Amino acid sequence: MAEEEAAEGEEAAAKPQAQYVSMTPAFVGNYGSGPRIKFFKAEVSLRVSSDDAAAKVTANEPLLRNQLVMLFNAQPDEALATVEGKEALRKEALAEVQKALKEEAGSELVEDLLFTNLIAQ
């Protein structure tokens, strides 16, 4: 029994544990074009798999925030109107973050990007 528990403990230690890096404060800005200004508020968390990756992501947070602000502000009016549009934006934001980290840190580091809160009006 003790050997089985030890083996299970080693397996759990070998698997990387997901960690989330919250990008605070929330992103707030405007998007779209036309006579009516549209606003968004997005709270973003990044999933990484190690303490080292979390530290590198945190060290590069100003660059990542800039990339995301530029992406969010460039969205057309209809981009945040549907669930499909929001999912497409999430995937595009993940790709932007991974690209920036690959250039700065040498690897993508971030496994996923999550909107913990996304409001558009």
Span 51-94, pLDDT tens digits: 999 999 999 999 999 999 999 988 887 888 889 999 999 999 99
What does the block give as tokens for 120? 């558009």
Nearest C-alpha neighbor of 64 from the set 22, 119, 19: 22
Tell me, what's the pLDDT at 32?
A: 78
Does residue 95 belong to any structural domain of this protein?
yes
Taking phi over 0 as left and psi of -120 to 50 as alpha, with beta for the rest, 25 belongs to beta
pTM: 0.82
Q: How many domains does the chain have?
A: 1
Give me the domain span that covers residue 106: 17-120
Does residue 2 belong to any structural domain of this protein?
no
Does residue 3 belong to any structural domain of this protein?
no
Does residue 12 belong to any structural domain of this protein?
no
Q: CATH code at 99?
A: 3.30.479.30
Does residue 86 belong to any structural domain of this protein?
yes
Nearest C-alpha neighbor of 70 from the set 106, 49, 50, 99: 99
Does residue 59 belong to any structural domain of this protein?
yes
